A and B are shown apart, each in its own frame.
Chain A
């Protein structure tokens, strides 16, 4: 009896999730991630915050301000018809390119740790490469759809998109920002992949990008050091491998349930950037495997349902844009978590919705808003069970 009941309950949950409007699921996931992220930024940043600003709360307060702005942006983008974006696609991509060029102008940009990635507006710094992620997804999806509609064959699709990717990646690589370059590359390539064009030229282009990336890594001593220390963190334990070693100590010492929120020790000067690049490690130490698992499941679920949105999108532009945004979030998650657990080189990519980061959080939330906007117009799968049930009840 009970067994059948429990099976029935599980089946009901699956059906509910299947039939629930994906927009609701997405908004819920993003909200939970943002709340969790804000709490963890508060905990992870207190020491750095006192050190930098003299107050334990400064960074948390800033994060809340960015979160408020991000929420506003997400509300706007999710309420707006995503198809309107096609009109602003050109403007958006031009602005992003303009920003990337400005960053490279020596006296305008804000420099930090050997890289110039920011443009300063008073106390707020904006990172144009973040804007480029959304711009690339929107303009790229629009470009693919327009070229397909023009009917000029696959070549007229692949060529311009690859050129767009190369332009964006080249400028970001010049900052230098290896991680964002990879994210941009993946966003662009995912558009081509999802568009259904033949594999070969895409694979060729992708291979070329990977080879170029590796070569670029080996030429620049800063990146070579990071790559080498990733391959053998123990040998560089006091130098560039230090952060990975500390990250693993943080994760491992958290065990299953963690040392408790706020009780982490790694943030006291052992782990660099505990509130941004390595916040996943702080979560692991303070909340244990339970914490890291929850974060991973939430982000995985967001991507999973994001892909459902893409496949249920009412038009081709929406489908491609959905895939691009999901790949953007997924790649950032994998690169950040992969670095924290020592499987990928450390590149300074934030964990979406969780890491501290001003423009990055706002742009990510804008992307999530666009995804919700597509979801609000999703077509229910094969008639849909819930509408049918509603139909039945109404009879």
Chain B
């Protein structure tokens, strides 16, 4: 049959074509296809680095990252979903029925628990169920709860710091993510018999040792929280600073939580007042958090929130006038209780007959009219120069996200009444941190020290690397500072700030009560006030400075709501660091005075 031969030839030709193509694909172009096969199998996997730990100055952990394991099931390999679920459920803290469902999803990759403790994961793996594996993960925890939360900040789901110091020092804290290359199927299944192709280990992040002191931070938060509840304030801030080094020992930003049950807003704080004033240790702690009457503010308002500070700003005209020689502490002025300037009526906080007042009395009684006479003698140029000299209008240098320079009045915005309003703190907007820095400079004899929150970085193995000394500069002549400190002592001794007194210690400081500007863009003011007390102690040998701000409190006065909180916190701090009492006040016996807090803190603990 000739035609069968034709079929035979056609068959041979077809098979030869196929064979030729096979040689072309499997031999001549094999390299190219091998590369493509390898490429489509390769899956780079990122190994998260453990974030650096943030501690207080004594190593109390505020936020840290701990290694955990994610438990994953390749449910195609699960033979007995129900039996294995029953064995795994108690280890994974999941319901057996829910787990059995997860184990029979038939998807190949089922994450069961995202963050199981490493010891827990070991127990899971010891069961040796085929298809159950663990992947190294980490979880960020704050063992001290939300203590100093607005300062420490937070970490987002991608493991990147997104607020506070976590954001500011993210590059340091984050470490270096590692990478490994796995061979995986399109379903994400690691292929059997294919080892990890390449691995770069992760480098853990560098830790931060903050200047904060956890017990002081806690006390400051509690004392401020109680006052916010008692005075129905909308919020408040506290900063405690080591004047010589600029180290921030406590930094608190709280907000009232009117939505929470048991909120003090609009109600009397608690039942009948106890017969004797309670010791701070016997008072039940205020719950600070979403469920409490007060919670940590969403941002670190002590640094990032601008406000018109009120009379605490009088440090500007008084230091400038003394430096310029236009007044001495004893210079006397005839002061009425009100004065009309450019059609606007200015008045003192309380009515009084026209009287003779020394500059010291004007400051102690916080007379706005008296201050206006001093400013008149000083002149606008020297006034504005001193605003900038004391650190207002520039960032504090704290290294904190949102460290604002403040909003200073510009020549274009200058109003005819501003020379009266500005010295009493009702023109420029500044942050509580900036106000405290100015008073710390006064406490240092006129030397401005840049504040700092990070005391040292903590490398691998716990090696401490102290941060460089804060830069400093003279902003008030030493002689002027010497004259000015006793004037501020009078504020606490017999002026508006008597409530700030700390038994056994000389305290210098200033009250401030400022009307809050309307936020609708008009020049008007609300009938709501920010109350401030800022000061330092011991005045004869300053070691600690602090500022307390209460927003929209009732009563409104700094001397009434902020000064008592200052007193409580400062008293605690002075005792905590064993600061020698001021001479002649009968407090703690005077010892050979250590000059700086660093020395004091070394003694304590």
Known contacts A54-B76, A310-B4, A330-B11; A253 and B22 CB within 8 A of each other: no
Known contacts A263-B193, A343-B17; A289 and B1 CB within 8 A of each other: no
Shortest distance from the beta carbon of A57 to any chain B beta carbon, whole Å? 13
Interface residues of A in 171-230 (CB under 8 A from B): 190, 193-194, 196
Q: Are B37's CB and A289's CB within 8 A?
A: no
Known contacts A50-B76, A250-B37; A289 and B22 CB within 8 A of each other: yes
A341, closest chain B residue (CB): B21
Interface residues of B in 183-209 (CB under 8 A from A): 183, 185-187, 189, 191, 193
Q: Are A251's CB and B26's CB within 8 A?
A: yes
Most chain B beta-carbon neighbours within 10 Å: one of A249, A270, A293, A319: A249
Q: Are A268's CB and B191's CB within 8 A?
A: yes
A250, closest chain B residue (CB): B37
- Contact digits for A230-273, partner B, Cβ 8 Å, 1 yes 0 no: 00000000000000000011111111100000010110111000
Does B83 reach chain A (CB closer than 8 Å)? no
Instruction: Find B11's partner among A193, A249, A303 (CB 8 Å cutoff).
Output: A303
Does B97 reach chain A (CB closer than 8 Å)? no
Shortest distance from the beta carbon of A329 to any chain B beta carbon, whole Å? 10
Residues of B within 8 A of A296 (CB): 15, 18-19, 22
Interface residues of B in 1-27 (CB under 8 A from A): 1, 3-4, 6-8, 11-12, 14-15, 17-19, 21-23, 25-27
A196, closest chain B residue (CB): B3
For the complex, what is the distance from the CA of A232 to the CA of B584, rounded to whole Å?
99
Does B32 reach chain A (CB closer than 8 Å)? yes
Does B40 reach chain A (CB closer than 8 Å)? yes
Q: Are B36's CB and A253's CB within 8 A?
A: yes
Instruction: Find B22's partner among A193, A327, A330, A341 (CB 8 Å cutoff).
Output: A341
Interface residues of B in 149-207 (CB under 8 A from A): 183, 185-187, 189, 191, 193
Residues of A within 8 A of B6 (CB): 193
Does A288 reach chain B (CB closer than 8 Å)? yes
A267, closest chain B residue (CB): B185
B14, closest chain A residue (CB): A334
Q: Are B26's CB and A255's CB within 8 A?
A: yes
Does B106 reach chain A (CB closer than 8 Å)? yes
Q: Are A252's CB and B34's CB within 8 A?
A: yes
Instruction: Find A343's partner among B21, B23, B38, B186 (CB 8 Å cutoff).
Output: B21
Chain B contact residues, majority secondary structure: helix
Residues of A within 8 A of B37 (CB): 249-250, 252-253, 265-266
B28, closest chain A residue (CB): A252
Does B469 reach chain A (CB closer than 8 Å)? no
Residues of B within 8 A of A323 (CB): 4, 7
Does A307 reach chain B (CB closer than 8 Å)? yes
Instruction: Find B27's partner among A289, A304, A338, A343 (CB 8 Å cutoff).
Output: A289
Q: Are A256's CB and B27's CB within 8 A?
A: yes
Residues of A within 8 A of B38 (CB): 253
Does A51 reach chain B (CB closer than 8 Å)? yes
Q: Are A249's CB and B40's CB within 8 A?
A: yes
Q: Are A254's CB and B186's CB within 8 A?
A: no
Q: Are B34's CB and A253's CB within 8 A?
A: yes
- Contact digits for A13-54, partner B, Cβ 8 Å, 1 yes 0 no: 000000000000000000000000000000000010011001
Does A292 reach chain B (CB closer than 8 Å)? yes
For the complex, what is the distance from the CA of A250 to the CA of B40, rounded to whole Å?
11
Shortest distance from the beta carbon of A131 to any chain B beta carbon, whole Å? 24
Shortest distance from the beta carbon of A66 to any chain B beta carbon, whole Å? 24
For the complex, what is the distance from the CA of A251 to the CA of B151, rounded to whole Å?
60
Q: Are A319's CB and B11's CB within 8 A?
A: no
For the complex, what is the distance from the CA of A266 to the CA of B76, rounded to whole Å?
18
Does A140 reach chain B (CB closer than 8 Å)? no
Does A314 reach chain B (CB closer than 8 Å)? no
Shortest distance from the beta carbon of B81 to any chain A beta carbon, whole Å? 10
Does B30 reach chain A (CB closer than 8 Å)? yes
Instruction: Find A311's partner among B1, B18, B185 (CB 8 Å cutoff).
Output: B1
Residues of B within 8 A of A319 (CB): 1, 4
Known contacts A268-B189, A270-B186; A251 and B22 CB within 8 A of each other: yes
For the complex, what is the distance from the CA of A319 to the CA of B30, rounded to whole Å?
43
For the complex, what is the distance from the CA of A169 to the CA of B17, rounded to whole Å?
27
Shortest distance from the beta carbon of B224 to any chain A beta carbon, whole Å? 60
Does A321 reach chain B (CB closer than 8 Å)? no
Most chain B beta-carbon neighbours within 10 Å: one of A252, A334, A342: A252
Q: Are B33's CB and A251's CB within 8 A?
A: yes
Q: Are A194's CB and B1's CB within 8 A?
A: yes
Does B122 reach chain A (CB closer than 8 Å)? no
Shortest distance from the beta carbon of B262 to any chain A beta carbon, whole Å? 55
For the complex, what is the distance from the CA of A326 to the CA of B3, rounded to whole Å?
14
Does A367 reach chain B (CB closer than 8 Å)? no
Known contacts A268-B185, A269-B187, A300-B11; A51 and B106 CB within 8 A of each other: yes
Q: Are B36's CB and A292's CB within 8 A?
A: no
Does B102 reach chain A (CB closer than 8 Å)? no
Shortest distance from the beta carbon of B189 to any chain A beta carbon, whole Å? 7
Does A284 reach chain B (CB closer than 8 Å)? yes
Shortest distance from the beta carbon of B17 to any chain A beta carbon, whole Å? 7
List B residues at the A interface (Cβ < 8 Å): 1, 3-4, 6-8, 11-12, 14-15, 17-19, 21-23, 25-27, 29-30, 32-34, 36-38, 40-41, 76-77, 106, 183, 185-187, 189, 191, 193
7 sampled A-B residue pairs with Cβ under 8 A: A194-B7, A255-B30, A265-B41, A270-B185, A307-B4, A323-B4, A343-B18
User: Which 3 pairs, one residue from A and one from B, show the smallest C-beta to C-beta distance?
Assistant: A252-B33, A268-B185, A253-B37
With A256-B27, A265-B191 known, 17 other A-B pairs at CB within 8 A are: A51-B76, A190-B7, A194-B3, A248-B33, A249-B40, A252-B26, A253-B36, A253-B37, A254-B26, A255-B30, A266-B37, A269-B185, A292-B26, A300-B11, A307-B7, A323-B4, A342-B21
